Structure 1
Amino acid sequence: MIPTLARCVLSADAFRTCFTHALASEHEEIMGLLIGELTVSEAGEDESHIHSVCLFKRSDRQKDRVEISPEELAAATTEAERLSGIADRDLRVLGWYHSHPHITVWPSHVDVNTQAAYQQMDKNFVGLIFSCFHTEPNKANRLQVICFQAVPEPSYLSSTGSGKFVSREVPLQVVSPNGLTASFSDSLSLLASVMVEEERDLYSPANQSPETVEEIMNAIHNGSVFTKSMTGIAENLCIPLIRVLEAQLGRNHQRMLELNRLLDSPESGGQLLDMSDVIQ
């Protein structure tokens, strides 16, 4: 079935989480699933609104491809149902995202075929690609994102609707809230945990009761690599997150002081606020 999606509206929280995830791994692709709702515009066009991101631990780390297992898709569906109950909205899995480290943002033939397979379940399913660590001639490092779907190539389209697929770019709009939201900070905290688990999975099987000199030396080497990886996660993800949260805390404190000055004025007659009243 040919998709008819007019545009994809991505929340700033989801956008920041996806790009942070992409920047956290320079040498292998990352991936995740997108949760949102499908709406119809005033013009009668289908629009995909993405509100949240599902992060998964990679079982297979490769530089040129990623895969989403049925178990991960089922977990994302369960999370969408949970969020639907909280928000009282019809949320579901509406797309996937992955990164292109050191290459352009354009979908490969593997990406297009993967996207076509997802669209067999939902014609409005979308794919996002985040290109990072890519330097073009005479330009600095570029960060790019594209939203796409798979459509049959006209020359290959048959009466059954099957054939060769090509990518179709979907207009992407990012809706930005004010300040740092709890959803984004929670996602970054989860991302750090996921990356630590990935490194532990790689390290643990290689260091089980070394006995010979060679095994001991290998264990020491693997331990050094693991320590370096943990240091990288702390330096590139955890420390920046702490600085962002500290800055937001300072802004919240300043806002609380300003509001309390207004409430303390003779005209207000209100009561003083505490930090929980002004956290964004």
Structure 2
Amino acid sequence: MMDVETPDITEFVDNNNINAVNPATDEVYRYDAKIQEEADNSKPWRNNPTYFKRVEVSAVALMKMVTHACSGGDIEIMGMMQGKIKGDTMYVMDAFALPVEGTETRVSAQEEGYEYMVDYVEKAKKIGRHENVIGWYHSHPGYRCWLSGIDVRTQMLNQQYQDPFLAVVIDPKQTVSTGKVDIGAFRTYPENYEPSSSSSSSLTMLPTNKASDFGAHASKYYSLEISYFRSLRDAKLLERLWRNYWVKTLSQSPLVLNKQFNTDKIVEFTEKIKSTSVSRLIEKQSLSSKGSEEDGYLSKLAQESELLADDAKYGLMTNHVKHSIFNFTSAAEAGQ
């Protein structure tokens, strides 16, 4: 039997633009309690609803969250993130899963989840992980990264009582389909705050049954820019996490694993095309404002069709690679 080696993590690193930090300093990994205390005392984010602009996530935390999200399948999962802040940037250093049960549309942390979180953080500090909980993450299996009405209310409460706090959403279905982590980081605006414009107003491949919930709350939060980092300091741990993620990914075909998900996307896309009636297309020729609206809608449909095709090609290529690895037959064996 042919021995199969785990592929190098380089492809995952390249696909997600994970930057290597300076191994001579590794400053980002150092926790300065004084800096965190000063920031907490001054609370500059209270005077500026969009004070935090960026999120930097360690490769280890990213891998943990993605693996957890993928393990949930069609069920939403939830976990917490540990980290720190510096200026207008939030740093996610680590993440851990919560023992909570979710459904296909929502997940919430009950009393046992909070007890587990407190116990976990206390034990983590005993082994040198001094960062406090800086946010929560959960999955949206198959319906992209945004905040639902329940998510918005949860995040508002978190920011009210334990700010600075961050909300992260991962779509494991889209991640498996494309090979690139589909993730979003968000913070909510204060209640009754009216932003000049919504940064979350457009999202491709959003299921029709989620559109109303998305549209009703898109103006209540904003997105933060996400980047990733890694270091030799966590190389061994990252390699272990990568092997675990790779084995789970390798053992399943994206086309088979996401069969229902891919079918639903095609059905959704077909319905969107049908909704663009001939009469609406005719109207745009006489009404410039209507035409601009329709052009944008059709442009979005064209973009979605390209994404569907890319996902299918990625799945086929992945299957081909796996077939080449596991069904390899040498010339000598073929001649026997």
> TM-score, normalised to structure 1's length?
0.54
Structure having the higher strand fraction is 1
**In the alignment, which residue of structure 2 is the partner of 1:130?**
170
* Segment of structure 1 superposing worse, 67-76 or 175-184: 175-184
Which among 61, 65, 68 is matched to residue 14 of structure 1? Answer: 61
Alignment partner, residue 61 of structure 1: 102
Q: Which residue does the alignment assign to 1:176?
A: 230
Aligned residues: 178
The structure-2 alpha-carbon separation of the partners of 1:30 and 1:17, relative to structure 1 and needing over 3 Å to count, comes to same
Counterpart residue number, 2:240? 185
Match in the other structure for 2:24: none
Superposed displacement of residue 107, structure 1: 1.7
Is the 1:3–1:123 contact (alpha carbons within 8 Å) kept by the matching residues of 2?
A: no
Change (3 A) 1:134 1:173: closer
1:132 touches 1:141 (CA, 8 Å); kept in 2? no
Match of 2:140 among 89, 92, 100: 100
Alpha-carbon distance between aligned partners in 2 of 1:132 and 1:92, rounded to the nearest angstrom: 26
The offset of 1:234, in angstroms, is: 11
Of 65, 69, 83, the match for 1:36: 83
* Residue type at the aligned position of 2:221: S
CA 1:75–1:235: 2 relative to 1, 3 Å:
same
Identity across the alignment (%):
22
Which aligned runs of 4 or more in structure 1 are off by greater than 6 angstroms?
Answer: 186-189
- Determine the structure 1 residue equivalent to 2:124: 83
Residue type matched to 1:181 in 2?
A: K
Question: 2: CA distance between counterparts of 1:90 and 1:180?
Answer: 20
Alpha-carbon distance change, 126 to 184 in structure 1, aligned in 2, over 3 angstroms: farther
Q: Displacement of 1:46 after TM fit?
A: 3.7
How far residue 184 of structure 1 moved from its aligned partner, in angstroms, is 6.9
Q: Distance in 2 between matches of 1:51 and 1:119?
A: 19
Q: Which residue, out of 171, 185, 188, partners 1:147?
A: 185
Bigger helix fraction: 2
Q: In the alignment, does 2:77 pair up with 1:47?
A: no
**Which amino acid letter does the alignment assign opposite residue 56 of structure 1?**
L
**1:3, distance to aligned residue in structure 2 (A):** 5.9
Gaps of 5+ in 1: 157-163, 192-231, 237-280
Match of 1:24 among 71, 91, 116: 71
What is the deviation of 1:133?
1.6
AA paired with 2:118?
T
Match of 1:72 among 113, 118, 129: 113
1:140-181 CA distances to partner (integer Å, 9 max, x unpaired)?
57741011011135349xxxxxxx871111122211235843
Q: Deviations over 1:8-49 (max 9, x none)?
A: 2211001011111111222111110111223x3xxxx24322
Distance 2:243 2:179 in 1: 23
CA contact (8 A) 1:81 1:92 kept: no
Q: What is the TM-score when the length of structure 2 is the normalising length?
A: 0.46
- Matched letter for residue 51 of structure 1: M
1:48-103 CA-partner distances (Å, limit 9, x unpaired):
22222121233x3300111012332332233223333332x641111110111111
1:119 aligns with 2:159: yes
Q: For 1:215-226, what aligned pairs fall within 5 Å after superposition?
A: none
Task: Could you tell me which runs of 5 or more consecutive residues in structure 2 were left unpaired when the two chains were aligned.
Answer: 1-45, 196-216, 253-336
SS in 1 for 2:171: strand
Matches within 5 A, 1:181-220: 181-182=236-237, 185=240
CA distance in 2, matches of 1:181, 1:105: 30
- Give the drift of 1:4: 2.5
What is the match of residue 167 of structure 1?
Answer: 221
